C-alpha cells in the first residue's frame, strides 16, 4: 500500500514487470473522476520515483537494457540479475560463465558485479532496498514473500525460503544457511587466496573466516562444503577438519580441473622432439605379422600384372633380351709373405718337401711365420740335394 499522513491512500497491483507496478486508489469513490485520475497518477509517480531512488541501477538498466553497450554474455547476465531482483547463483551454470576483463568492467558500469559464485547488484544489499524488493515481488507474484532479517550477513534458511525468494533479496543458499551475495563472494576470494598460498589443492582454512559471513562455527563446515570443498584430513584426536580440497572438476573460478600432464623431462620441462621409443631411438616394429603395407602390396601387384601382361609391348621386348650370366665367384685373396733369398725359395712350399733342418733355417731367416704343410711329400732318390748353409750330416739323416 501507499501511505500518506499515516493513512493508506492506494494499493499496488501487478504491472508489466516487478519494477513497474500499477496503482489503484483506496476510497474517495464519491470524488469526481478527473480528481481521482490525478490522484492515481500522483501516487503512481510517487511509487516510480521511490523505486528509482532506492534502486537506481536496476531502474536505469530496465529502461536502457536494449540499447546498453554490453556484449552478448554480459547482456545476458545483466538481464538475469534484473529478472531475479538482486542476485543469481553462478555455481550451477553449465558450462561456467566466462567473462573477459572488459565485460566485467562494462557490467560494473551498469551496477552489476560478477565474481566466483554470484552476479549481483550491490545496491540491493541494504535493508531498505531488500524490503522494497520483497514487497514488489509479493505484488508481482500475488503471493506472500518472506523478508530477510534486517542487516543479517547470513541467517538459517528455514522452511518456506526458496532459492528464488532468497535471490530476490540478494542472498544465496549455502547448505543450511542463506548468505548475502557480496559476503559469499568475499569468502570465496579468501578461500582462493589460501589455495594459491598453499600451491596445491590441499590447504587449511582458519576458523576465523566464519566471521566474514556471520556464521557460527558448527555451521561453517557445511557452508564450506556448499562452496565445493571436501575435507581432506581430519585431526586424529578431535576429529576436526585440518585441511580441505576442492572436489574433482570444481575450482574457485568454476573452471574444470586440468587433465594430468604427461611425464616431463629434466628440469620440469616436457621432452622435446619425437618420443624415444627405445634405446636406439628407432620406432618399434609394426605388429602386423611381417606383412607389407597395404599400399605397397597393391603397388607390387599392379607391377607384377603389367609384367605378365602379353599385350604389354615391353613384355615382347623383354623376351628378346639375352639372359644374364650368373655372377662369377670372387677370387680368394692370398696373403703375401716375404720369401728368403736362397735357391730353396724358388721351390713352392706346396710342391716340394723341405727337410726339417731346412725348415728351421728358413723359419729363422724369414721374419713372417709361414705355416708348415700338414704332410710333407716323400723325397725321391733321384731328387738333387740342395746344399744348405750350416747343415751337418746328422741333419741329412734326420731329414731322410
pTM for the predicted model, two decimal places: 0.60
pLDDT above 70 (res 134): yes
pLDDT, average across residues 333-351: 51
With b for 16 or more beta-carbon neighbours within 10 A and e for fewer, the 29-60 pattern comes to eeeeeeeeeebbeebbeebeeebeebbebbbe
Res 398 pLDDT > 70: no
The residue with greater pLDDT, 210 or 250, is 210
Task: Give me the residue spans of the domains in the chain.
Answer: 2-54, 66-246
pLDDT value, residue 387: 45
- Most confident residue range from 127-136, 236-245, 391-400: 127-136
Question: Which pLDDT score is estimated for 236?
Answer: 82
Average pLDDT over residues 246-251: 66
Give the pLDDT of residue 170: 94
Please give the pLDDT value at position 322.
64
Q: Which residue has the higher pLDDT, 355 or 272?
A: 272
Q: What is the mean pLDDT of the chain?
A: 76
Query: What's the sign of the alpha-carbon dihedral 192, 197, 201, 205?
Result: negative
Interval 3-20 mean pLDDT:
89
For residue 119, the cross-strand partners are: 88, 114
Instruction: List, for residues 64-108, the tens digit of each pLDDT value.
Output: 888 888 888 899 999 999 999 999 999 988 888 888 999 999 999
Q: Which residue has the cell 708348415?
A: 372
Query: What is the arithmetic mean of pLDDT over 318-343?
Result: 62
Alpha-carbon distance of 166 to 157, in angstroms, equals 9
- Model confidence over 172-201: pLDDT tens digits? 999 999 999 999 999 999 999 999 999 988
Is the pLDDT assigned to residue 336 strictly greater than 70? no
pLDDT band at 217 (very low <50, low <70, confident <90, very high): confident
Of the chain, the percentage scoring pLDDT greater than 90 comes to 38
User: pLDDT class for 371, splitting at 50, 70, 90?
Assistant: very low
The 3-class secondary structure across the chain, one letter per residue, is CEEECCEEEEEEECCCCCCCCEEEECCCCCCCHHHHHHHHHHHHHHHHHHHHHHCHHHHHHHHHHHHCCCCHHHHHHHHHHHHHCCEEECCCCCCCCCCCHHHHHHHHHCCCEECCCEEECHHHHCHHHHHHHHHHHHHHHCCCCCCCCCCCCEEECCCCCCHHHHHHCCEEEECCEEEEHHHHHHHHHHHHHHHHHHCCCCECCCHHHHHHHCCCHHHHHHHHHHCCEEEEEECCCCCCEEEEEECCCCCCCCCCCCCCCCCCCHHHCCCCCCCCCCCCCCCCCCCCCCCCCHHHHHHHHHHHHHHHCCCCHHHHHHHHCCCCCCCCCCCCCCCCCCCCCCHHHHCCCCCCCCCHHHHHHHHHHCCCCCCCCCCCCCCCCCCCCCCCCCCCHHHHHHHC
- Average pLDDT (332-342) is 58
- pLDDT at residue 292 in the model: 59
Q: Provide the pLDDT confidence category of residue 298 given band limits of 50, 70 and 90.
A: confident
What is the rounded CA–CA span in Å between residue 91 and residue 226?
A: 10
Edge-first strand order for the sheet with 118-120 is: 87-89, 118-120, 113-114
Amino acid at each position: 500500500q501507499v501511505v500518506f499522513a499515516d493513512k493508506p491512500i492506494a494499493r499496488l497491483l501487478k504491472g508489466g514487470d516487478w519494477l513497474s507496478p500499477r496503482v489503484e486508489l483506496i476510497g474517495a469513490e464519491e470524488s469526481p473522476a478527473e480528481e481521482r485520475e490525478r490522484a492515481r497518477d500522483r501516487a503512481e509517480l510517487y511509487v516510480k520515483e521511490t523505486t528509482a531512488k532506492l534502486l537506481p541501477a536496476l531502474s536505469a538498466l530496465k529502461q536502457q537494457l536494449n540499447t546498453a553497450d554490453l556484449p552478448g554474455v554480459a547482456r545476458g547476465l545483466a538481464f538475469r540479475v534484473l529478472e531475479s531482483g538482486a542476485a543469481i547463483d553462478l555455481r550451477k551454470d553449465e558450462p561456467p560463465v566466462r567473462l573477459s576483463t572488459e565485460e566485467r568492467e562494462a557490467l560494473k558500469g551498469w551496477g552489476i558485479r560478477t565474481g566466483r559464485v554470484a552476479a549481483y547488484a550491490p545496491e540491493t544489499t541494504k535493508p531498505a532496498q531488500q524490503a522494497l524488493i520483497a514487497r514488489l515481488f509479493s505484488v508481482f507474484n500475488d503471493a506472500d514473500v518472506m523478508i530477510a532479517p534486517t542487516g543479517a550477513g547470513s541467517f538459517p534458511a528455514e522452511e518456506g525460503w526458496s532459492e528464488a525468494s532468497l535471490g530476490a533479496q540478494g542472498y544465496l543458499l549455502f547448505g543450511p544457511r542463506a548468505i548475502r551475495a557480496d559476503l559469499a563472494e568475499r569468502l570465496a576470494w579468501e578461500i582462493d587466496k589460501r589455495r594459491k598460498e598453499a600451491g596445491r589443492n590441499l590447504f587449511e582454512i582458519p576458523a576465523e573466516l566464519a566471521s566474514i559471513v556471520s556464521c557460527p562455527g558448527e555451521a561453517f563446515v557445511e557452508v564450506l562444503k556448499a562452496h565445493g570443498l571436501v575435507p581432506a584430513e581430519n585431526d586424529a584426536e578431535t576429529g576436526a577438519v585440518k585441511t580441505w580440497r576442492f572436489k574433482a572438476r570444481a575450482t574457485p573460478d568454476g573452471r574444470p580441473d586440468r587433465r594430468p600432464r604427461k611425464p616431463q623431462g629434466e628440469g620440469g620441462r616436457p621432452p622435446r622432439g619425437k618420443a624415444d621409443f627405445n634405446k636406439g631411438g628407432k620406432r618399434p616394429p609394426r605388429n602386423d605379422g611381417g606383412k607389407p603395407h597395404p599400399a605397397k602390396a597393391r603397388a607390387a601387384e599392379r607391377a607384377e600384372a603389367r609384367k605378365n601382361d602379353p599385350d604389354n609391348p615391353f613384355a615382347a621386348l623383354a623376351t628378346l633380351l639375352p639372359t644374364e650370366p650368373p655372377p662369377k665367384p670372387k677370387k680368394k685373396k692370398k696373403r703375401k709373405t716375404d720369401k728368403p733369398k736362397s735357391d730353396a725359395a724358388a721351390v713352392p712350399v706346396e710342391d716340394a718337401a723341405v727337410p726339417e733342418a731346412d725348415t728351421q733355417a728358413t723359419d729363422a731367416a724369414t721374419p713372417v711365420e709361414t705355416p708348415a704343410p700338414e704332410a710333407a711329400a716323400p723325397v725321391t732318390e733321384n731328387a738333387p740335394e740342395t746344399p744348405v748353409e750350416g747343415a751337418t750330416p746328422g741333419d741329412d739323416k734326420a731329414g731322410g
